[in-house]
Amino acid sequence: MAGSSDGAESERRQVLVVDDERPIRRFLRAALTAAGHDVLEAGSVAEALAICPTARPDALILDLGLPDGDGLEVIRRLREWSAIPIIILSVRGQETDKIAALDAGADDYLTKPFGAGELLARLRAALRRVKVEPSASVLTFGPTVIDLAGHRVTVNSQEIHLTTTEFALLRVLAQHQDRVLTHRQLLRLVWGPNYETETHLLQVNISNLRRKVEPEPLHPRLIVTEPGVGYRLRSAGV
Amino acid sequence: MTTEPGPDREPRPAAGGVPYLAYLKSLGLVAVVTVLGRTVLSRVHPINLVMFYLLVVVISSLSWGRGPAVLAAAAGVLAFDFFLIPPFLSLAVHDVEFVITFAALLAVALAIGTLTARLREQAVVARRREAETAALLAFSRRMLGARQWEEIVAAAVQHLGESFGREVVVLLPEKGHLTIAASTGRFKLDDREMAAAVWTFAQGRPAGRGEATLPGVRGLYLPLQTARSIIGVLAVRGSDAPPLTAEERHLLEAFTAQVAVAMERAQLYEEARQVQVLAEADRLRQAILGAISHDLRTPLASIIGSLSTLTGEGTRLDDRTRGDLIETAREEAQRLNQLVGNLLDISRLESGTLKLASDWYDLRDAVATALERKAPQLQAHPVRTALPDDLPLLQMDYVLIVQVLVNLLENAAKYSPPGGEIEVRARDTGQAVEVAVLDRGQGVPAGEWDRVFEKFYHVGGKRAVGGTGLGLAICRGIVELHRGSIWLRPREGGGTVVTFRLPLGRAAEAGESGGGQQRRG
């Protein structure tokens, strides 16, 4: 089960879908409606920026390849006044665009073609962020329990010794559970802004962390690699 | 080095023409005949000696030319009169008939002398022509052998420099300016010289020393002209040498024409080659389009077929059939997606537009991701990994290397029997990291170990197992972008090993020293 569960994911939400392709909007509408949400549609940057302030949707699903501008533009403009969860849609091979969007404030991404299951899972995770209790001090992910206040981690009730850095890394991932964090974001959050390009530090620590925390380090279940983008801590059911 | 004589290899004549020595020699011959005449005078009538003087004149004219021949004629008559006709040692004659003899001797001598001298001159000219032709032929052969224009101009300046004993320079247009393409070394062009070169290039006529245009300039500038256009300028300059003779000039122009022709030929050859390359590429493209068309249409046929059946017959089908059709459409769509991905990959690799997004990554992470992605196909195959804990971080494009591993795992699964074990191994060789994917499948026949990496290649030429045959080609493209290499070998005990090698950057040091983190062995 996910940490700090509060039933947020079962509420009815209003989701704005922004994509210039009608078939995509159609399938998203079908999937989201089936999951119990209301759907608004927009086909361009202009439309999206017009709808958001008035309709105030609860979440945004945004295609990066819009005809009249950059999806990045939408993210930047929205982030000036809104913390609305944003999930971007992009195609394979556009890693730099995805990373830029995530660094600019998007919460997660989906690579076309994707399935409805993935979409709904990421939407749930993104919506959950809004409701996380700031005072949650113990996070549980299957056999792994993270005690933030006590700086302890146990797996199957056995204490695991982590270095300070390893713990910080795990904490950051856990606090963003089920949401992707780019390399840059992780480095900034764990080491500081001057370390944003020190990817090898991240690699080494992720590797060590996995060896200590994952039952099968070569089949990571908890700490998942997002190829070319970053990492995600995956709670069960995602 | 050719040994044919150049036009100025013969001794240069002294001012006035023939060397003084020649005159002396002809006088010497006259003296010799006179002395011989004196000795036989008692037994032979002097009139018989006239022929010998004629002989001397012929010899003189053949050997030394007109001047010495005329001298020999005059001296011969005088000597004849003085030494061999009574009264001896006097130019007077007792017998008046001898005056006719003298006159006749002189006339015939001069005539013969003149004619043979002309003969000799013609022979000299003929020899010179022959030498020039030989030189031209040798030059032309050398030009023929050269394929690139750089070779041509370099050979030209060297050859001409030697033949004419002067500095030679070839100027060719580059980005709108005439620049020196080859030179014998010391020929520097100041503004005036360059102006002459530019004029020649623009007008297509010679300029410089000995010409009507810009005669004050030190070099002689000749246009390199072909039937199509003026392609450059050839310049000749002898620092202290006298101006070229007419023959030398003629020969130089012949050489220059050779150079121009050779360069035009090189250019045309290059153009023809390009056309051939394009034609070949076009042919290949057609073949590929054919293969791709088939591979794309097949899954589409399944998808459209399944979905149209669902829409058309929907209500008449039972749930299970409906489910099957939907599943078929989904699977085939996935297959189509993968195919499209492969085509895009290979296209980007081939066109060189694929740029590596390189950073430090853990190879084991990549292996894990690849295994995860291929989990459905690997269900029937137990997978073993042997990846050392202390494998250094690598500079690589994570997404692409995962692709390589995915393709190799896919092949291993495809060609392995159900239950056949698949292994992934990695090792640090010091210079590089080698990753191997091993299977116990049917293997690849000898002789095809390298060919499998070609685009659209199927083992044994069969397309039975499905897929386009692009997987390994993509692997190779990606690995080579990383400056690595990939190869396939049979496995001991049956099966196949595909190994790829990624050179180590400064990863090893970075991994160990990074932020003071410990790497547990």
Yes or no, beta carbons of A204 and B337 under 8 Å apart? no
Residue/partner pairs of A47-55 with CB below 8 Å, 24 or more apart:
A47/A18, A48/A16, A48/A18, A48/A74, A49/A74, A49/A77, A49/A78, A51/A16, A52/A16, A52/A78, A52/A82, A52/A84, A55/A14, A55/A16
B367 touches chain A (CB under 8 A): yes
Q: What is the pLDDT of residue B465?
A: 55
Report whether the peptide linkage leading into residue B87 is cis, meaning its omega lies within 30 degrees of zero: yes
Q: What is the pLDDT of residue B498?
A: 95
Q: Cβ distance B475 to B453 under 8 Å? A: yes
Interval A118-143: pLDDT, tens? 899 999 888 887 555 556 778 888 88
Secondary structure of residue B473 in the 3-state scheme: helix
Mean pLDDT for the stretch of residues A86-98: 86
Dihedral angle sign, alpha carbons of residues B447, B448, B453, B456: positive
CB nearest to A200's CB, from B360, B368, B389: B360
> A91 in contact with B at a CB cutoff of 8 Å?
no
pLDDT at residue B251, as a whole number:
84
Share of chain A above pLDDT 70, in %: 92
Q: What does the pLDDT look like over B401-441, one tens digit per residue?
A: 999 999 999 999 988 888 889 999 999 998 899 999 999 98
> Tens digits of per-residue pLDDT, B188-227?
778 888 888 888 888 888 888 777 777 777 888 889 888 8
Q: What are A4-48's pLDDT values in tens digits?
A: 444 444 678 899 999 999 999 999 999 999 999 999 999 999 999
With 70 as the cut, is the pLDDT of residue B517 above it? no
Instruction: Say yes or no to pLDDT of A237 above 70.
Output: no
Distance from the Cα of A219 to chain B's closest Cα (Å) equals: 6
Q: Is A115 on the interface with B (CB under 8 A)?
A: no
User: How far apart, in whole angstroms, are the C-alpha atoms of residue B136 and residue B264?
Assistant: 18
User: Which residues make Cβ contacts (< 8 Å) with residue B197, sequence separation at least 6?
Assistant: B171, B178, B189, B221, B233, B235
Residues B453-472, mean pLDDT to the nearest whole number:
72
Q: What are the two backbone dihedrals, phi and then psi, of residue B88, each rounded to the nearest 5 degrees?
A: -65, 155
At B14 the pLDDT is 44
* A218 contacts B368? CB cut-off 8 A: yes
ipTM of the complex: 0.82
Tell me which chain B residues have a C-beta less than 8 angstroms from the C-beta of A92.
341
**Is the per-residue pLDDT at B329 higher than 90?**
yes
Closest-approach residue (CA) in chain A for B384? A218
Check residue A42 and give its pLDDT.
93
Give chain A's radius of gyration (CA, Å).
Answer: 18
Q: Name the CA dihedral angle for B257, B262, B264, B268, rounded to a multiple of 10 degrees.
A: 160
B111 touches chain A (CB under 8 A): no
Q: Give the per-residue pLDDT at B499.
A: 96
**What pLDDT score was predicted for residue B518?**
36
Q: Identify all chain A residues contacting B362, using CB atoms and an 8 Å cutoff.
A: 203-204, 206-207
Of the residues A114, A164, A167, A204, the best mutation for testing chain B's interface (the one with the most B CB atoms within 10 Å of its CB) is A204
Asked if residue B494 lies in contact with residue B442, where contact means CB atoms within 8 angstroms, the answer is no
E strands in chain A:
14-18, 38-42, 59-63, 86-91, 108-112, 138-141, 144-147, 152-155, 158-160, 180-182, 223-226, 230-233
What's the mean pLDDT in B304-331?
A: 88
Q: How confident is the model at residue B511 (pLDDT cuts 50, 70, 90)?
A: very low
Question: Which tokens is B289 given?
Answer: 């389009």
Residue of B nearest to A220 (CA): B368
pLDDT over 70 (residue B508): no
Which chain A residue lies closest to B362 (C-alpha atoms)?
A203
**Which of B153-162, B322-331, B392-401, B425-434 bottoms out in mean pLDDT, i.e. has the lowest?**
B153-162
Quick one: average pLDDT of B488-496? 90
Residue B203 pLDDT: 87
B322 to chain A, any CB pair closer than 8 A? The answer is no
Q: For A84-107, what is the mean pLDDT?
A: 89
The pLDDT assigned to B303 comes to 93
Question: 10 Å Cβ neighbour count for B252?
Answer: 22
Residue B448 has pLDDT above 90, yes or no: no
Distances (CA, A) of B16 to A48, B110, B243: 102, 20, 18
B-chain residues near A95 (CB < 8 A): 357, 399
Question: pLDDT value at position B76?
Answer: 86
Of all residues in chain B, the one with the smallest CA distance to A204 is: B511
Report yes or no: B387 at the A interface, CB cutoff 8 Å: yes
Yes or no, beta carbons of A198 and B357 under 8 Å apart: no
Q: Label each residue of B5-25 as H, E or C.
A: CCCCCCCCCECCECCHHHHHH
User: How close A175 comes to chain B (CA, Å)?
Assistant: 22
Residue B274, pLDDT > 60, answer yes
